[in-house]
Amino acid sequence: MTRTAIVTGGASGIGAAIGRRLAADGAAVAVFDINDAAAGAAAAAIRADGGTALGVGVDVADRSAVEAGVADVRSALGGPAILVNCAGVTVSGPFLELEPETWNRVLATNLTSAFHCCQVVLPDMVAAGWGRIVNISSSSTHSGVPGMAAYVSSKSGMNGLTKVLALEFGRYGITVNTVPPGFIETPMMREALDNGVFDLDRQVAGTPVGRIGQPEDIAATCAFLVGEEAGYITGQTVGVNGGRNT
Ligand code: NAI
């Protein structure tokens, strides 16, 4: 049975790896990304590998854009059965210099986006009596990170949203889990390294398995959590961090 999956932030880094992996496992994948051209390119790459995919330009912080994007998915691929909320932005700087507008933008992109996407797709899952939601948060929610108040707060909110949705929707065959990645090699992480937010050698030295994570490490975990066999796992936080934050 082909299931339809929506992956937000699916044009780059972790989201792109998740889209590739779910498509390889047989899902029809809708790549939602604010970067319309990159969403199209990611979907084209999946199709070139023999998968089924649709690229949709969506700002997931915008409710009406999410509703329109999900409507496109329903007509092109069928009702969504899997949702991976992966879109995110990172902002860093001293707390006392954090502008309210920046705080609001980070919360809207990283957390309210998940509220919109979950609320729009859950009726499809309830009607089908089956669904899987994975929220990509961050290992920074375990430790805190100086200078990242908006980011860590937004990702911590995702952990709470996961718990509540797991309790409310378990009876419909829907599971909701959180994957907080550790230090993963993506364009977002490269930017943080270039800006001096993190030091690569120190990060690797502090990681028990002795390497930086790859987007495929997160994709493999998502693939398990959205599968049939993971139906008894819900409301959980599954850290993928090479042994940090344990
Ligand atoms: P990335 O920057 O490579 O990819 C993020 C994608 O989200 C981009 O394609 C971007 O266009 C998209 N996006 C941003 N705002 C959007 C919006 N409003 N609507 C739709 N799409 C939007 O980042 P990366 O590293 O792949 O991160 C993916 C997720 O994993 C993020 O939520 C990030 O916070 C989280 N994460 C990443 C870690 C890492 O080490 N790379 C560690 C912990 C969490």
Domain containing 127 — which CATH number?
A: 3.40.50.720
**pLDDT at position 196, please?**
84
Tell me the residue type at 63.
R
Tell me the residue type at 121.
V
Q: Which of 151, 132, 109 is nearest to 235 (CA)?
A: 132
Rounded percentage of the chain residues whose pLDDT exceeds 90: 91
pTM > 0.85? yes
Tell me whether residue 83 is in a domain: yes
55: tokens are 């690229």
Lowest mean pLDDT across 36-50, 73-87, 103-117, 183-197? 183-197
Tell me whether residue 237 is in a domain: no
**pLDDT at position 195, please?**
85
Centre of ligand 1 from the C-alpha of residue 108, in Å: 13
96: tokens are 């006392």
Tell me whether residue 211 is in a domain: yes
Average pLDDT, the chain: 96
* Residues of the domain holding 42: 4-230
Q: What is the mean pLDDT of residues 212-217?
A: 97
**pLDDT at position 188, please?**
87
Atom of ligand 1 nearest to the CA of 183: 40
φ/ψ of residue 236, rounded to 5 = -100, 155
Q: Which of 80, 60, 194, 95 is nearest to 128 (CA)?
A: 80
Centre of ligand 1 from the C-alpha of residue 171, in Å: 31
Tell me whether residue 235 is in a domain: no
Closest Cα to atom 33, ligand 1: which residue?
Answer: 88
Tell me whether residue 241 is in a domain: no
Centre of ligand 1 from the C-alpha of residue 130, in Å: 27
**pLDDT at position 246, please?**
64
Closest Cα to atom 32, ligand 1: which residue?
Answer: 88
Tell me whether residue 244 is in a domain: no
pLDDT score of 197 more than 90: no
| From 32, 115, 130, 151, the catalytic residue | 151
134 vs 187: which has the higher pLDDT: 134
**pLDDT at position 56, please?**
98
Tell me whether residue 84 is in a domain: yes
φ/ψ of residue 58, rounded to 5 = -140, 130
Tell me whether residue 21 is in a domain: yes
Q: How many domains are contained in the chain?
A: 1
